[in-house]
Amino acid sequence: MDFENEIKEKLNTKRFERQRGSSSGCISSGYVYECDDNVVVFVKFNEDSISRVMFDGEFYSLSALLSTNTVRVPKPHFVHTDCNSSQSAIVMEYIAHLHSLSSHQRTLGNQLAALHFHNAKLGKQEMKNENWLGKGREQAYVSQFGFDYVTCCGKYPMKNEWMSDWISFFSRVRLEDKINSLLEIHTDRELNELWSQLQLVIPRFFKDLNEKPIIPALLHGDLWAGNAGETNDGPVIYDPSSFYGHSEFDLAIAKMFGGFRREFFDAYHSVIKKDPYFDHRSDLYQLFHYLNHWHHFGTGYRSQSLNLMKKCCKTSI
């Protein structure tokens, strides 16, 4: 049985006809299939040895985002691995008439803020209900930073071990892990020296929050314009790399490559206000993404990464 037939069998459909290819980024290939009863699904394929890990991370990320009922994402159906190779696929809802984000910028800003505030609302509700014996909960407040599953921001797996402190999580599980991965590929003395300097000053970027604890927020994790779109009904986000982290992390990459207009950010900050060091932390959070691009696409991103590290080291707060 070939791989497509295995997926067809798992969908329990007699009809499984590939209609066309669809954009799914530079890492995987994606196709639209029509099934029985005019059901349409989108299937992404990848033959890399880590494809199962990558698609499992996407499946659980989409599932977590979907459960908040705050912003539309494709509903994931399942992940399947070819029994004869390393090829895997993720099968999900196909969203028709999806195009680049344009007229629904403000709506997405409001919905992203709702997503980021969702866990905090659960925490407040949990406090109200803590004395209600026997009261069931569909969702529970998450008090730490991390995620139950490995995710991939691009094609490289990222550990999401749970930690109670955001600064430690971001420094160790995001920046340090990414820098160590780069140093395994490149013997880069300047990168190593700058990281030795930067890790000493990272706590300064959070001094404005000493009296305001960071509440873990469920994040998209890779929210650049290529992972957001809209239909006539409203915005859609996809290709997530979710975890519980600082809400500002999602906005950093949203500012890097264009596509999100001022009304998106204004709508977001009408719900979740900017803290005093927001712009400084944006540099720090963008650094992860520049390092990740260096890891994926090569030394073309080296100078941008190192220059941003130098800027962060010299930031006077």
Tally: H helices and E strands in the chain? 10, 12
Distance of CA 87 to the CA centre of its chain: 23
CA atoms within 13 A on the CB side of 279: 5
CB environment 273-305: b (16+ within 10 A), e (fewer): eeeebeebbbebbbbbbbbbbbbeeeeebbeeb
Tokens coding 133:
């014996």
Query: What is the radius of gyration, based on Cα positions, of the chain?
Result: 20
Distance CA 68, CA 218 (A): 9
Instruction: Classify residue 243 by burial, with Cβ atoms within 10 Å: 0-12, 13-18, 19+.
Output: buried
Q: What is the largest CA-CA distance in the chain?
A: 64
Q: Tell whether the torsion through CA atoms of 266, 270, 273 and 276 is positive or negative.
A: positive
Give the active site residue among 56, 82, 188, 222: 222
Distance CA 156, CA 140 (A): 29
Q: Which helix (H) or strand (E) holds 34?
A: strand 29-35
Tokens coding 187:
């013997």
Distance in angstroms between the alpha carbons of the first and the last residue of the chain: 62
Tell me if residue 222 is catalytic. Answer: yes
Closest CA to 208 of 303, 273, 157: 273
Active site residues: 222
